A and B are shown apart, each in its own frame.
Chain A
Amino acid sequence: MDAIADTTIAQAPGAASHATEDTPSLLAVVIETNPLFWVPLQQQTELKSVIESLIVAMNAHLAINNSNEVIVIAAHSGKAQFLFPDPNVLKNDTNPPKMDSHSPNSVSNKSTSPTPDVIDDKRQYLKNKNIYRQFKLMDESVFEKLEQLFNDTVADNSKFKSTVPGAISMALTFINRMRQVREGITMNSRILVASVGGDQTMSYIPTMNSIFAAQGMRIPIDVCKLGNDSTFLQQAADVTGGIYLLITNPNGLIQYLTTVFFIDPSIRNYVALPVNNNIDFRASCFITGNIVDIGYVCSVCLCVLSMIPSDKKCPTCESTFDPQALEKLARKPFVKRKVVANGNSETPNATPTPAGTPQPK
């Protein structure tokens, strides 16, 4: 009865502040699990402890509001996969994806995935079986799926490309679906990316496309970066209004997660958060790969060049440039030389002697 009363108050026009507090929020977590990227971090931390910290943070997110939801996607080597909600559990649900289901039949629906007994035989994932049901559903699914993922992984050094852009794309398609299914119910969504790989592992255009899609949907992308800085992810956080934080001390990860990343985007304006002001928005040259300050951009394909190509053709789209325009670009600044009356031209670097202000007589 109280619950009903609460919702009526929350929806009343006078209770706007209540409404913002109570708006449920969906947290999409993208974890980069590609083993190759974790090798350089061996000295600092390991995947297991990071997952544990993330699990605590996600449980906290679920606990803070009864209608909050979490989705977890692993960006593994060569594939991105949902860890939670478990695709197999959802399979027999005729309803749209539902993660915080209190209905008891959502577990019994696991027809193709191992039944709870089998899991018990295989491995006990959780120490305490009597934890809060929503925690249990998510934690078990994440551990189980991760284990499957690592068991299936074959050592392959060629899979050095990051699947984070793909995982973000999947998170966006999922959120898009949730928005269509729950028309009329406002739900804040945000994406948290726990990434370890550097820029060179991510393909530029897909990353940018997903960033702009997230921006269009008003979904902030928070980045919890381990290892080295990533310009792409810095831009992702900046463009979408999320937080970018380079974790220098991974042992304290849980602290970062439950303080900085835990704050709901609606109240971020009132909290002093780490700001990242030195984002590099410069582009890199398509030929040399150098970062350019002033460059030349092809008017057809927008590729960035640090110099005028010698064959007067765009290296990407092969359009031939207008020679006149190139000539104009290549022209050096013109210094006008003064011709002195006696015929000797003045040296260009000679500083003109000040004539002096005319004095009043």
Chain B
Amino acid sequence: MDSDEDEYVAKNPTSKNAGKSGMAKRTRKHGDDDVMMLLEDSEEDPGEADEDEGEGEEDDDDDGEYYGRKTKKKPGRGNQKKKKTKVRIDDNLKGKDGGYAWEDKIKRSWDIVKEDKDGSLEGLVSGLLEANKMKKIYKNVTPFQRGIIRSLILVIDCSRAMSEKDLRPNRYSLTIQYALEFVTEFFDQNPISQLGILGMQNGLSMVISDLSGNPIDHINNLKQLKKKDPEGDPSIQNALEMSRGMLLHTSPHSTKEVLIIFGTLFTSDPGDIFKTIDHLVNEKIRVRIIGLNAQVSICSKIVKETNYGDEKSNYGVILNEQHFKELLNDCITPLPVIKKLSSEAEGVQTTPQQKTFSLIKMGFPKRITEVDPSFCSCHSNLNYGGYICPFCKAKICSLPAVCPTCNLMLISSSHLARSYHHLFPLKNFEEVKFNEVDKSINLESQEPFKANFQYHQCYGCLMEFPVKSGSIVDPKLMKTTSRYQCLDCHKQFCIDCNVFIHEHLHNCPGCESNV
């Protein structure tokens, strides 16, 4: 049983607290080291251990099998042997030393804190802050063909488990609060896309907000939802089936996506969820899941199958509130179009070449103002001015919209322009090295040296860089120059401008002022 327990835990390295209770109890002998597996570095969530134990059936595993503790037949000895010979270590489980991640030496977060000569931590702290900010903006900037026109169903878990207070004030409130921000941001970045919202409650799926392109409706509906309390069990199958129904009539050129925020460790389904997965694969609906609790096998299975085997970037389990936010923000960027449809790994029947590329007929209406009010054809409200459909001359009060008379998609050119930065992303800036100007500086030597730089201040905000030219730098304490350089115009920017430029502006001020 001991090794069974171990294996059960070993399957869950990415989840934040799975099997904690199992691991914390015992010390396992391996190699020369006595490794206390107390998982002390992970985010602790008291009150969840029992739940993990209770829902043992749904663990992650790499073979795609749906087995739990009771089906584990492998003897403990064999398991140990497998590890020693290092037959195959899943990349997800690999640690720094080449073995499993839990065989690595424990790294305490306070080990890296070292004072400099004057006993100050300032340099180190600012370095850590910068590293955090850098992580945020590092993006893959390869221009992909992306499905810019999206239909997304957001599924929110409204079950009992969402009343847990591990997120403040509780999971439910925080999720809705983040969902509200998500809706705003989603339509800001994807103005010609559509969104629908579902809830999972009492084993059923309920429509919170219908599929539409109007953010105000969604926001109002979510605010209504906030007043209700989470209850009952969730059913992923019901939610997915309903999402399928909602996505059935979307235009063929739009992507079909489902995003599930899942706070429970089980799903109570009325039928065979694997059939639902097959349907999803056939209909090319891509499912993303954000887990609030721990990794669940069926979720990773769903994600893997519907995203052509790419589980890693589509199934995330949150570490903390900040990470939750980041995972949600990842879903705002449109997905790259996948041309190759290889599902050979799962043995699912192969689908024909995706035909999502097409031309869409769109109207660019002119805005008018009127002296006398007239009725708009969309809401039958009296108003002064609006937009005139170029095809049928009906008056619409806001854009983007579908003309209620002739069904023509009406947008303005600035709506299209909002999506351009996804298609033509700005290149990442590169950190400037200490030896860039003065080549004689040897960064490996660990000896203090005199820094020498070309620029003294940030090109964007005129702030002076913290490390000055001519100052003595100790490479042990000072890891970064805090200068980031655009590879095209070679202008240098501070970290804050770097973040701002890549997150909001999407323009390099240096390149744009040098045309």
Q: Which residues of A pack against B, CB within 8 Å?
A: 75, 78-82, 85, 87, 90-91, 93-94, 96-97, 159, 161-163, 165-167, 169-170, 172-174, 176-177, 180, 203-206, 208-213, 216-217, 235, 239, 277-283, 292-302, 304-305, 308, 314, 317, 319-322, 324-326, 329
Question: In whole angstroms, what is the CA distance A302 to B364 when docked?
Answer: 13
Question: In whole angstroms, what is the CA distance A170 to B390 when docked?
Answer: 38
**Would you call B490 an interface residue if the criterion is a C-beta within 8 Å of the partner chain's C-beta atoms?**
no
Enumerate 21 A-B pairs (CB-CB under 8 Å) in ascending A order: A91-B457, A170-B509, A172-B505, A173-B509, A176-B500, A177-B460, A177-B462, A177-B494, A208-B418, A210-B505, A216-B188, A277-B368, A281-B399, A281-B413, A292-B364, A294-B364, A294-B408, A297-B362, A299-B149, A320-B357, A325-B358
Question: In whole angstroms, what is the CA distance A204 to B416 when docked?
Answer: 12
Question: In whole angstroms, what is the CA distance A184 to B462 when docked?
Answer: 21
A299 with B513: CB separation less than 8 A = no
Interface residues on B, range: 35 or more
Do A294 and B413 form a contact, CB below 8 Å, given A165-B507, A173-B497, A300-B337? no
A97 with B145: CB separation less than 8 A = no
A296 with B360: CB separation less than 8 A = yes
Do A167 and B513 form a contact, CB below 8 Å, given A173-B505, A293-B390, A300-B146? yes
Residues of A within 8 A of B107 (CB): none
Question: In whole angstroms, what is the CA distance A209 to B502 when docked?
Answer: 11
Give the interface SS of chain B, mostly helix, strand, loop or mixed. Answer: loop
B145 with A317: CB separation less than 8 A = yes
A208 with B420: CB separation less than 8 A = yes
Residues of A within 8 A of B359 (CB): 296-299, 305, 308, 321, 325-326, 329
A216 with B366: CB separation less than 8 A = no
Question: In whole angstroms, what is the CA distance A296 to B368 when docked?
Answer: 23
Do A97 and B417 form a contact, CB below 8 Å, given A213-B506, A295-B362, A300-B337? no
A321 with B461: CB separation less than 8 A = no
A281 with B414: CB separation less than 8 A = yes
**Would you call B221 an interface residue if the criterion is a C-beta within 8 Å of the partner chain's C-beta atoms?**
no
Residues of A within 8 A of B146 (CB): 300
Our pick among A180, A281, A292, A299 for the contact of B356 (Cβ within 8 Å) is A299
Our pick among B358, B390, B460 for the contact of A294 (Cβ within 8 Å) is B390
Most buried by A among B365, B367, B369, B463: B463
Nearest-CB distance from A137 to chain B (Å)? 15
A87 with B462: CB separation less than 8 A = yes
Nearest-CB distance from B455 to chain A (Å)? 10
A166 with B509: CB separation less than 8 A = yes
Residues of A within 8 A of B464 (CB): 90-91, 93-94
Question: In whole angstroms, what is the CA distance A317 to B357 when docked?
Answer: 11
**Would you call B227 an interface residue if the criterion is a C-beta within 8 Å of the partner chain's C-beta atoms?**
no
B457 with A87: CB separation less than 8 A = yes
A90 with B457: CB separation less than 8 A = yes
Residues of B within 8 A of A82 (CB): 462
Please give 6 more A-B residue pairs, beta carbons under 8 A apart, in addition to A217-B504, A305-B359: A172-B505, A174-B460, A209-B505, A213-B506, A216-B188, A300-B337
A166 with B496: CB separation less than 8 A = no
**Would you call B412 an interface residue if the criterion is a C-beta within 8 Å of the partner chain's C-beta atoms?**
yes
Question: In whole angstroms, what is the CA distance A281 to B366 when docked?
Answer: 6
Question: In whole angstroms, what is the CA distance A159 to B462 when docked?
Answer: 25
Nearest-neighbor residue (CB-CB) of B385 within chain A:
A277
Nearest-CB distance from A334 to chain B (Å)? 15
B496 with A161: CB separation less than 8 A = no
Do A283 and B356 form a contact, CB below 8 Å, given A75-B513, A174-B462, A299-B149? no
Our pick among B254, B416, B461 for the contact of A177 (Cβ within 8 Å) is B461
Residues of B within 8 A of A282 (CB): 364, 366, 412-413
Question: In whole angstroms, what is the CA distance A293 to B463 when docked?
Answer: 46
Our pick among B369, B419, B515 for the contact of A161 (Cβ within 8 Å) is B515
B 458-509 contacts with A by CB, 8 A: 458-464, 493-494, 496-497, 500-501, 504-509
B417 with A208: CB separation less than 8 A = yes
B358 with A321: CB separation less than 8 A = yes
Residues of A within 8 A of B459 (CB): 170
Our pick among A166, A170, A172, A279 for the contact of B515 (Cβ within 8 Å) is A166
Nearest-CB distance from A316 to chain B (Å)? 9
Nearest-CB distance from B401 to chain A (Å)? 13
Residues of B within 8 A of A173 (CB): 458, 460-461, 493, 497, 500-501, 505, 509
Nearest-neighbor residue (CB-CB) of B390 within chain A:
A293
Most buried by A among B399, B460, B462, B512: B512
Question: In whole angstroms, what is the CA distance A119 to B418 when docked?
Answer: 47
Nearest-CB distance from B23 to chain A (Å)? 42
Question: In whole angstroms, what is the CA distance A173 to B513 when docked?
Answer: 13
**Would you call B363 an interface residue if the criterion is a C-beta within 8 Å of the partner chain's C-beta atoms?**
yes
Most buried by B among A173, A206, A210: A173
Nearest-CB distance from B168 to chain A (Å)? 22
Nearest-neighbor residue (CB-CB) of B410 within chain A:
A294
Our pick among B367, B408, B457 for the contact of A278 (Cβ within 8 Å) is B367
A205 with B385: CB separation less than 8 A = no
A169 with B507: CB separation less than 8 A = yes
A325 with B364: CB separation less than 8 A = no
A299 with B357: CB separation less than 8 A = yes
Do A209 and B507 form a contact, CB below 8 Å, given A163-B515, A302-B420, A329-B361? yes
Nearest-neighbor residue (CB-CB) of A330 within chain B:
B359
B414 with A208: CB separation less than 8 A = yes
**Would you call B253 an interface residue if the criterion is a C-beta within 8 Å of the partner chain's C-beta atoms?**
yes
Our pick among A97, A277, A299 for the contact of B367 (Cβ within 8 Å) is A277
Residues of A within 8 A of B385 (CB): 277
A169 with B512: CB separation less than 8 A = yes
Nearest-neighbor residue (CB-CB) of A162 within chain B:
B515
**Would you call B424 an interface residue if the criterion is a C-beta within 8 Å of the partner chain's C-beta atoms?**
yes
Residues of B within 8 A of A292 (CB): 364
**Would you call B391 an interface residue if the criterion is a C-beta within 8 Å of the partner chain's C-beta atoms?**
yes
Nearest-neighbor residue (CB-CB) of A201 within chain B:
B515
**Would you call B514 an interface residue if the criterion is a C-beta within 8 Å of the partner chain's C-beta atoms?**
yes
B360 with A297: CB separation less than 8 A = yes
Residues of A within 8 A of B457 (CB): 87, 90-91
B497 with A177: CB separation less than 8 A = yes
Nearest-CB distance from B344 to chain A (Å)? 25
Do A206 and B361 form a contact, CB below 8 Å, given A294-B391, A304-B413? no
Nearest-neighbor residue (CB-CB) of B497 within chain A:
A173
Residues of B within 8 A of A317 (CB): 145
Nearest-CB distance from A295 to chain B (Å)? 6
B361 with A97: CB separation less than 8 A = no
**Would you call B433 an interface residue if the criterion is a C-beta within 8 Å of the partner chain's C-beta atoms?**
no
Residues of A within 8 A of B360 (CB): 296-299
A322 with B357: CB separation less than 8 A = yes
Question: In whole angstroms, what is the CA distance A304 to B419 when docked?
Answer: 13
A212 with B358: CB separation less than 8 A = no
Residues of B within 8 A of A217 (CB): 504
B419 with A302: CB separation less than 8 A = yes
B416 with A304: CB separation less than 8 A = yes
Residues of B within 8 A of A211 (CB): 414
Do A97 and B419 form a contact, CB below 8 Å, given A322-B357, A325-B358? no
Question: In whole angstroms, what is the CA distance A204 to B368 when docked?
Answer: 24
B 122-148 contacts with A by CB, 8 A: 145-148
Question: In whole angstroms, what is the CA distance A165 to B509 when docked?
Answer: 8
Do A169 and B361 form a contact, CB below 8 Å, given A300-B148, A304-B416, A319-B145? no
B507 with A206: CB separation less than 8 A = yes
Do A302 and B416 form a contact, CB below 8 Å, given A296-B360, A320-B357? yes
**Would you call B160 an interface residue if the criterion is a C-beta within 8 Å of the partner chain's C-beta atoms?**
no
Question: In whole angstroms, what is the CA distance A302 to B365 when docked?
Answer: 17
Our pick among A85, A93, A212 for the contact of B418 (Cβ within 8 Å) is A212
Nearest-CB distance from B510 to chain A (Å)? 8
Residues of B within 8 A of A161 (CB): 515
**Would you call B373 an interface residue if the criterion is a C-beta within 8 Å of the partner chain's C-beta atoms?**
no
Most buried by A among B359, B460, B462, B509: B359
